[in-house]
Amino acid sequence: MHLSDLQLKMVINMKDGKHLGVIIDAEVSADGKINYYVVTPKHFFKRLFKSEPEVNVTISQIVKIGEDVILVDL
């Protein structure tokens, strides 16, 4: 699966059902392993007026990757 495929999916926290946003970037180590994905709110105005910070999601926090959503356990 490519990063561009993951960027099309909504990221949902399983604990509270909150929509965290979408994946915009990935932090990759020098040996080529993904350290974490950077998730931010999708809508520009939410990012502009709400000071919701970016969320870093590690591979171990991802529970399920579906067709439309990525479920995470934060």
Angle (CA) 53-39-21 rounded to 5° is 90
pLDDT in tens, 18-27: 999 999 999 9
DSSP string, 58-69: -GGGEEEE-SSE
Q: Please report which confidence band the pLDDT of residue 51 belongs to, taking 50, 70 and 90 as the band edges.
A: low
pLDDT in tens, 11-48: 999 999 999 999 999 999 999 999 999 998 876 555 55
DSSP string, 39-58: EE-SSHHHHHHS-PPPEEE-
Angle (CA) 15-22-44 rounded to 5° is 115
Q: Where are the domains of the chain?
A: 3-72
Sign of the C-alpha dihedral, residues 7, 3, 39, 44?
Answer: negative
Domain 3-72 classified CATH 3.30.70.3340? no
pLDDT at 64 (0 to 100): 95
